[in-house]
Amino acid sequence: MNALFVICGLGIISLIAEIANFRKWLISIIVLGLLGAAALVVADWNTAVAYYHDMLVFDNFSLAFTGLIIGSSLLWFWTASDFFEALFHKTDKSALILFAIAGGVLMTSFNNMAMLFLGIEILSISLYVLAGSRKEDLGSNEAAFKYFLMGSFATGFLLFGITLVYGATGTFQINTIANYVLTHAGELPSFFYAGALLMLIGLAFKISAVPFHFWAPDVYEGSPTAVTGFMSTVVKIAAIASFFKIFATCFSTIAPVWYTILLVIMVLTLVIANITAVYQNSVKRMLAYSSVGHVGYILLAFLADHKESDGTIFFYLAAYAVSSLAAFGALILVGGKEENTLVERFNGLFKRNPIVAVGLTIALLSLAGIPPLPGFFGKYLVFAMAINNGMIPYVIVAIVTSLIGVYYYFRVIIAMYFKDAVAEPLKVSTSKEVLIVVLILITLALGIFPDFLIQLL
């Protein structure tokens, strides 16, 4: 809870920075503040306290995901430091990012549908603006507008769903709803189920599962690369945490209602996202589709055992977040000012800058699920869970799609190592080189000793 206050406070401090003129120190203050927030999360570990009439509950699940969000944000601030070097709106951007993080924390810790809604809205509104922060760029404008329209639409579904669920149960508290559903099984009005399904659709938009993913590629491609990196890590973590929380608590007892629908969504997500990714020429867009595809694997774990899959999902997300941050970090460096991320741009990167190339390679290999990188363990745990629950045909689908994944990730790797360089050596600041090494080390550590993280939940 205190971490949330710290993050909100940091957002307001960065607004004040514009007036009080300490812009130079802002990023350092934010990083220190986030470190403090992370420390507060650690201090709260194993306490499970409910705050303000059970509006928020910080149990280990929420704390773990909050920690993950804060950790990824810290690394993100490092990768995206150039994003704040711009001439204008430095403080506005950091304030919006911090508010978005606060929204993400709310989405992991809510215990009341009102808080869920607020969290989603804070997160989304900040991002609508950030997506459009390259004002002179048409793609960025398109991204912002598309994201805004689709996002509002999704929120509409979610809100309608919440209303119907409230109408049936008379409460917004998710544990009370869960109890109500348990004790009133068989006598629930049918619009309760309609409400649950509408919420499913609304949240499927937010986690960008097929067929509710149409906004994702355009938005990911159009937004500034730094913001895309934020969307595909912090935002995704928060969205999946809220999805898990709602469906594993509130609607766990009515699993038969949504199970088949989610199964179809999962298979579609795996197949369509991974196949479409093959045809992309822009690495950014390819990563957008791949991030949609990863949701499919998470859904597979969720469907295998929706109550016990939290540890697996958490690890998968952590592995995915570290790898995507490294990938987007490299993308920012390679894309340069004009943010050109076509595959050709990566030609001969190994010769232009070996460190960036190796970092990106390891990130992509981890996303592809090659051992001993953490992506492999994430997929391994998901597959093991699914086989254990007799979902063999779906595991086969998932394995085939991850092979397709290897193909499109390797296209970039091939370009980096085999093609002749198109430009002179890529100069990268020392801080970025250190960052890449740190990310590689985190990735390797997660891959070789995965039990440390999974054991948390």
Partner 1 sequence: MQHYLISLLIFTPLVAACICLFLPKKFEKAFRAVALIVNVQQILWLLPMLVGFRASGMFQFVERSNWITLNLGSWGVLKAEYLVGVDGMSLPLVALSVFVLLIATISSWSIQKNVKGYFVLLLILNAAVIGSFVALDFLLFYLFFEFMLLPMFFLIAIWGGPRREYASIKFLLYTLLGSILILVVMIGLYTSVSDPVASQGGLLVHSFNLLHMMEPMNFISNTILDPNNPWQIGWFNARYWAFLLLFIGFAIKLPMVPLHTWLPDAHVEAPTPVSVILAAILLKIGGYGLLRIAYPIFPEAAMHFGMFVGIMGVLSIIYGALNAMASKDLKRLIAYSSVSHMGFVLLGAASVTEEGIAGAVYQMVSHGIISAMLFLIAGVLYDRTHDRIIDHYSGLSSKMQNFTALVLVGFFASMGLPGFSGFIAEVMVFLGSFRSNATNGVLHESLAVIATSGLILSAAYYLWTLQRMFFGPFHLKANIESDAIVDLTSREYVMLVPLAIAALCFGIFPQPMLDMIDPFAKYLTALVIDHGKAITLNP
Partner 2 sequence: MTLNLFYFLSFLAVLSALMVVFSKNPVYSVLYLIITFFTIAGHYILLDAQFLAVVHVIVYAGAIMVLFLYVIMLLNLNRESEPHKSNILKFAAVICAGLLLVVLVGSLKGTEAIVQQSGKAGIGYVKTLGEVMFKEFLLPFEITSILLLAAMVGAVMLGKSEKTNDTI
Instruction: For residue 22, give both structure tokens.
Output: 């300490």
Compute the least distance from the CB of residue 176 to partner 2, in Å: 13
Among 16, 135, 388, 423, binds partner 2 (CB under 8 A): 135
118 near partner 2 (CB under 8 A): yes
Residues of span 161-220 touching partner 2 by CB under 8 A: 189-191, 193-194, 197
Q: Which is nearer to partner 1, 183 or 455 (CB)?
A: 455
Stretch that binds partner 2, among 125-133, 328-336, 414-422, 447-455 (CB under 8 A): 125-133
Site residue total, partner 2 (CB under 8 A): 42
Q: Which of the choices partner 2, partner 1, none does residue 387 contact, using the CB cut-off of 5 to 8 A by kind?
A: partner 1
CA 291 → CA 71, 119, 127, 324, distances in Å? 19, 22, 17, 9
Main-chain dihedrals φ then ψ at residue 57, nearest 5 degrees: -125, 120
Determine how many CB atoms are found less than 10 A away from the CB of residue 253.
16
Among 219, 333, 360, 365, binds partner 1 (CB under 8 A): 365
Residues of span 298-317 touching partner 1 by CB under 8 A: 305, 308, 311-312
114 near partner 2 (CB under 8 A): yes
Residues of span 9-28 touching partner 2 by CB under 8 A: 11-12, 15
Among 19, 20, 85, 87, binds partner 2 (CB under 8 A): 87
255 near partner 1 (CB under 8 A): no
Compute the least distance from the CB of residue 8 to partner 2, in Å: 6
Stretch that binds partner 2, among 45-53, 210-218, 373-381, 396-404 (CB under 8 A): 45-53
Stretch that binds partner 2, among 82-90, 206-214, 224-232, 254-262 (CB under 8 A): 82-90
Main-chain dihedrals φ then ψ at residue 69, nearest 5 degrees: -65, -45
Compute the least distance from the CB of residue 224 to partner 2, in Å: 13
β-bridge mates for residue 387, sequence order: none
Site residue total, partner 1 (CB under 8 A): 33
Q: Which is nearer to partner 2, 131 or 298 (CB)?
A: 131
Torsion of CA 409, 100, 221, 356, to 10 degrees: -40
150 near partner 2 (CB under 8 A): no
Binding mask 328-357 for partner 1 (x = CB under 8 A): ----------------------x---x---
Compute the least distance from the CB of residue 160 to partner 2, in Å: 9
Among 132, 151, 202, 375, binds partner 2 (CB under 8 A): 132
Q: Which is nearer to partner 2, 254 or 342 (CB)?
A: 254
376 near partner 1 (CB under 8 A): yes
Among 255, 406, 438, 445, binds partner 1 (CB under 8 A): 406
Binding mask 25-64 for partner 1 (x = CB under 8 A): ----------------------------------------
Under a CB-based contact definition with an 8 Å cutoff, are residues 332 and 225 in contact? Answer: yes
455 near partner 2 (CB under 8 A): no
Instruction: For residue 228, give both structure tokens.
Output: 């895309």
Main-chain dihedrals φ then ψ at residue 282, nearest 5 degrees: -95, 130
Compute the least distance from the CB of residue 114 to partner 2, in Å: 5
Q: Which is nearer to partner 2, 107 or 286 (CB)?
A: 107
153 near partner 2 (CB under 8 A): no
**Residues engaged in binding partner 2 (CB under 8 A):** 8, 11-12, 15, 51-53, 55-56, 87-89, 92-93, 95-96, 99-100, 102-103, 106, 112, 114-115, 118, 121-122, 125-126, 128-129, 132-133, 135-136, 144, 189-191, 193-194, 197
